[in-house]
Structure 1
Amino acid sequence: MGFEDAHQYWLNSHLRRRTGERRSRLQRGHGHGERLFLKRVWWPLFGNFEHLHPEYEIVDWRGRPYFIDFVWSCGSFRFALEIKGYGPHVQNTDRIRYRRELNREIYLQSLGYRIVSIPYDELEENADVTIFLLRSLFAPYLSAQAESEHTFMEREVMRLAMRQTKSIRPIDLVREFEINKRTAVKVLQQLCDKGKLRPLVSGESGRVTRYERVQSLADDTVW
């Protein structure tokens, strides 16, 4: 599934779960800047939209609703990502609004969010800079998450899969780790269930004999 189809499916799934102002806000707020960020940064990094929530509603210290462009949950960690253009965030034409925005960022941090401000101009001119910075920022959290979500053998198999130039087979695990074939197949199926590997069906027999990696940010920062 390419970006356009995956993005539409992800957005529709959130729209279906929302009603009233929360739904209207998503329809209004998920605009050009947000889509540009997803297409040029998030999709190249992750290849999916898992645990990413658009126009995420919180209640601020005054008891008023506020919508964050994106919230990404990574295990027990939460990131608040905001796409910021130059005009409304830098020019002090509305000093009260600017002051409230800074107060809101402090409040979000008190709730346990890490604030990530994404410059809109960078998305248009050089998205690779944002990709590099986010990769560096997210790497420790993804590593900690992988430690808690995957067994030792699963992590070793993923490292082996990364070294393979082609797809991986159960016999590769048998030879590398000196385990029996049944155990090898079980570990490969577990990684498929967790979305890390994809089974490949043989055209002639219809059986699964090989597995390929599902590309993601974790390929370079976790395993």
Structure 2
Amino acid sequence: MNGDLAALAEIDALVTAHPAPGCEVVICPPAVLLHPMKARAGDAIALGGQDCHANRSGAHTGDIAAGQLKDAGAAYVILGHSERRADYGETDAMVAAKAAAAHAAGLTAIICVGETEAQRDGDETLTVIASQLDGSIPEGATAANTVIAYEPVWAIGTGRTPTADQIAEVHALMRERLAGKVQDAAQVRLLYGGSVKPGNAAEIFAVPDVDGALVGGASLKAVDFGPIIAALAAA
């Protein structure tokens, strides 16, 4: 729940600073900003939603269908974010159903997985990630319609970041786990998310099997997000 119409000026600044960034840039704003943001972003930046309902339509007051996101200009949608899982009790099965709906509407699903601090401290990280991947990815997922984002819950907004070795271990597991489950698994984009900042972006992008980032707070200002884009373009 960040941003308003005045914040669209950040899009102008981002496009001006990185007119040809050399990598794909996606911004997932609150749904009310999708349509006006599309007019400002043009073809330079793709847009996405922050969530969608599993049904195509119906009496689900306050929810948004994947087709409605598509109609408003979205090409992507984030699903299974740790805040949705924690605050709304979303299960892997619910995430998979939403991802299937996103695929049916022509959206690329960014499916999030990640462990809590207690799970990390209990040496359960790889077990948790494997289970979430198995349960959250629907049939028909391909490298073209699915992106996986690893977001260690304990690192989101805390300033704490896993070591390069910890990130590499999880991303290697994800790549291996996707084999046989997702068509063209080797081409599925794997993102890292969790306190990604201009100061650590280059180091994170140098980790094997890290194809990009799911950026939170640092994406709100072009002055912060721009250097992260530049770091990925240079990776």
Fold conserved between structures, TM > 0.5: no
Return the structure number with greater strand share.
Answer: 1
Query: TM-score w.r.t. structure 1 length?
Result: 0.28
Return the structure number with greater helix share.
Answer: 1
